Amino acid sequence: MTNVPNDRSQQERALYIISVAAELAGVHAQTLRIYERKGLIEPARTQGGSRRYSERDIQLLQRIQELTNEGVGLMGVRRILELEDDLATALAHIRDLELALERARAAARGAVS
């Protein structure tokens, strides 16, 4: 079984050139350039300046495509993505707080015993 850090680093490796990324995302390469200009995605760059897309980028492109297919404009997509990121951050923070609370409860129970 692979561990999460390796999975994450694997997802973040910039592997795909723009034409392959566009095909995987189901859009035209020019669409990826537009998404980049609008600030929706920021692919890695080689030393020569060529774009390279990761698995995480492909997933993001697919999410963007899903939203635009539902009729959401690019500014709306940007806001939705920001809100989804904020929600993920808040949920992670809540999980951390719940763990800290559980530890504090266990310590309090131990102190009372």
Q: pLDDT of 15-58, one tens digit each?
A: 899 999 999 999 999 999 999 999 999 999 999 999 999 999 99
Residue 32 identity (one-letter amino acid): L
Given CATH 1.10.1660.10, say whether it is the number of domain 4-112.
yes
- For residue range 66-105, list pLDDT tens digits in order: 999 999 999 999 999 999 999 999 999 999 999 999 999 9
**CA-based torsion, 58, 35, 88, 15: positive or negative:** positive
Contacts of 21 (CB under 8 A, 6+ apart): 29, 32, 43, 51, 53, 57, 58, 61
Beta bridge partners of 45: 51
CA dihedral 102, 107, 112, 113 (to 10 degrees): 100
Q: pLDDT band for position 3 (50/70/90)?
A: very low
Q: How many CA atoms lie within 13 A of 108 on its CB side?
A: 6
Determine the pLDDT at residue 14.
78
Confidence at 11, pLDDT banded by 50, 70, 90: low
Q: pLDDT tens digits, residue range 97-110? A: 999 999 999 999 98
Q: Which residue has the higher pLDDT, 3 or 53?
A: 53
Domain boundaries in the chain?
A: 4-112
pLDDT of residue 1: 42
